[in-house]
Structure 1
């Protein structure tokens, strides 16, 4: 037994040394390994591509990614995932769906409760792949829409809060963004503050999707003309969509209809009148990727929301409390410059919001031609 053991060991050592001393054999070995790895990677890539483009589950992922792009400044990139025709159909379908959701009648099942003044609370939330905050404003009449005070440019929400002495604030409505440069001066749709109509982009008789509050503190969301809003006694409002909770029921049926994964800002009202703002961070892997509107709907229904609607999100999403930005805006340049924000005040009746857009040719801030040629 000892003789056999001694005979085996030298042969193994000799073979190992021979390989080390033969660089040609070593090189051929590495080449074979690289070829095998390359072939395996190619097969895996082809398999992944086949799954991505030719299976139902892959299609679901592609459309989720496309929906995420649709909510960004780079909507056109979605055509590389689903094709231009499918992209156009998707955008048109969402517009029709949102208008239908906006027209669902709200019975305003709210019993306003007198809460102590100044009761504003911020609560962290988290879910699968996202982190964010809920801000509770127990007295809805503390909320006002405030606009930029910079002629020709938007203003950061943090600046608006500090300038006006507000308690807190979140970003507001949609806006036109020439060349996607973040100018933030021209609102889309309408802007109302303190019962005054400050901006009406499409005139007095065109219906637009709005989110706001009336003079009694009831949340208003849906499609209305500026004339209707004034007649309804709406105090403060901006344009955005969709309305996704009505009479305590969610209108978004599944994750697939949740309009992609993105940073979110939403507004809701509870049965006792409390307004809840949802701010969810996104586009930051390792911290928070973002949420679908279906995710937000589930959060708000669990909190007892009877009405809810979407506000501008993406890189606009920001929450400011006590003069500090609470969340982590997705833009590497920090919070965005915006035309409007919902701010919270101890004495909202003392807040004066002048019409910054009066007498200005707003066509100079129209981005429609740039978007059509992108």
Structure 2
């Protein structure tokens, strides 16, 4: 019988090799391998689900989990996404948390200062300033934040600046350059609908050069303020415009809270530190030195700080009184016409209504009241 040879096989193969090659079945995935990967995937899914349940239980039903949850909610409350906090603590919890802070801030504002600040006479101040630099800047750092501590040796060198144009706020760097200031930091808050406002309309009260520049209340309506009087002493708390003028307050904005009085911190723990955020805060030492803390936040190099963090920094540097200023994306430090810190906004500096500026000759500075003669009820803060 004649054997038939497959013409497609190479002639070099022997008859037995050709027979074995032709009889070999096509390779197919092994069922065992499929089952092995399926088991692994199933075990991973079950493990993740179990871990998720454990985290859910810890996050919502344990003391440490609740502490983290409320810290996250407080952090959101300080941002433009305040409403997101309800997904962590509920709508009622959000309302209660905001009201809690407002009540705390009001109570802290009423704590009186009894330790006097000793401002040296002008002649002695001049001599001292010659020994010390007017402005000193040092880096500060914590476990999750970094920033700068600014020391101003002469508190009377600080003036409050406002925008140059009607209808639009101004960047702090622009205010510094325009006025010839040595240094500038952001000051008070402003009306900011949808967090996209133009920075022209302040909230509360603005006093510059001992005159009321802006007031959205009346002369007998108390408001939270942070400022400096004619003698260079820092003032913080709840006052009416009339009281402030009678006290000789020269530069002031509305903001809160006051959190150091007589060298003692009023914020008792991190949990009461109003979340993690970029911060701008002001303090004063017993010798009159003004301190500014500028903390970056919402970035990889610095997440941000609580007010408790800033309080501890100030206390370590001898502050006897301290208060919070506008923070978040507004936080900025300008020195010698250069932005020193890294503002949180991806667009850089914000347009603001007020800034504390430092001058070598503050008596020569003229600040124009940009709101004079305006009907503030007709200002549209959402338009440029």
Normalised by the length of structure 2, the TM-score is 0.88
Q: What is the CA distance between 1:106 and its match in structure 2? A: 1.2
Structure number with larger C-alpha Rg: 2
CA distance in structure 1 between the partners assigned to 2:195 and 2:146 by the alignment: 26
Q: What is the CA distance between 1:365 and its match in structure 2? A: 4.3
Is 1:306 the equivalent of 2:313? Answer: no
Report if the CA contact (8 A) 2:76-2:85 is conserved: yes
Cα RMSD (Å): 1.5
Alignment partner of 1:339 out of 353, 357, 361: 353
Q: Secondary structure at the match of 2:129?
A: coil
Alignment partner of 1:223 out of 213, 238, 241: 238
> What is the match of residue 103 of structure 2?
96
Alignment partner of 2:367 out of 337, 353, 360: 353
> What is the match of residue 277 of structure 1?
292
Report if the CA contact (8 A) 1:221-1:243 is conserved: yes
Is 1:46 the equivalent of 2:53? Answer: yes
Which stretches in structure 1 are left out of the alignment for 5+ residues?
1-19, 369-374
Structure 1, residues 329-362: CA drift from partner, whole Å, max 9, x if none? 1111111111000000011111111111123233
CA distance in structure 1 between the partners assigned to 2:307 and 2:322 by the alignment: 11
> What is the match of residue 223 of structure 2?
208
Q: Secondary structure at the match of 1:31?
A: helix
CA distance in structure 1 between the partners assigned to 2:191 and 2:297 by the alignment: 22
Report if the CA contact (8 A) 2:199-2:381 is conserved: no
Is 1:116 the equivalent of 2:123? Answer: no
> What is the match of residue 37 of structure 1?
44
Structure 1, residues 196-243: CA drift from partner, whole Å, max 9, x if none? 110011121111100010000000000000111110000000010000
Q: Which runs of 4+ in 1 moved over 4 A?
A: 364-368
> What is the match of residue 150 of structure 1?
165
Q: Secondary structure at the match of 1:81?
A: helix
Structure 1, residues 22-55: CA drift from partner, whole Å, max 9, x if none? 4433222222211111111111111111111111
Q: Secondary structure at the match of 1:175?
A: coil
Report if the CA contact (8 A) 1:179-1:367 is conserved: no
Q: Secondary structure at the match of 1:229?
A: helix
Structure 1, residues 97-125: CA drift from partner, whole Å, max 9, x if none? 11111111112421123231661111000
> What is the match of residue 163 of structure 1?
178
CA distance in structure 1 between the partners assigned to 2:33 and 2:318 by the alignment: 69
Is 1:85 the equivalent of 2:92? Answer: yes
CA distance in structure 1 between the partners assigned to 2:359 and 2:109 by the alignment: 29
CA distance in structure 2 between the partners assigned to 1:93 and 1:37 by the alignment: 43
User: Which one is further off, 66-75 or 264-273?
Assistant: 66-75
Q: What is the CA distance between 1:367 and its match in structure 2? A: 7.0
Alignment partner of 2:343 out of 326, 329, 333: 329
Report if the CA contact (8 A) 1:267-1:309 is conserved: yes
For residues 288-307 of structure 1, what are the structure 2 equivalents within 5 Å? 288-307=302-321
Specify whether residues 85 and 104 from structure 1 end up closer, same or farther in structure 2 by C-alpha distance, changes over 3 A only.
same
The number of residue pairs the alignment matches comes to 348
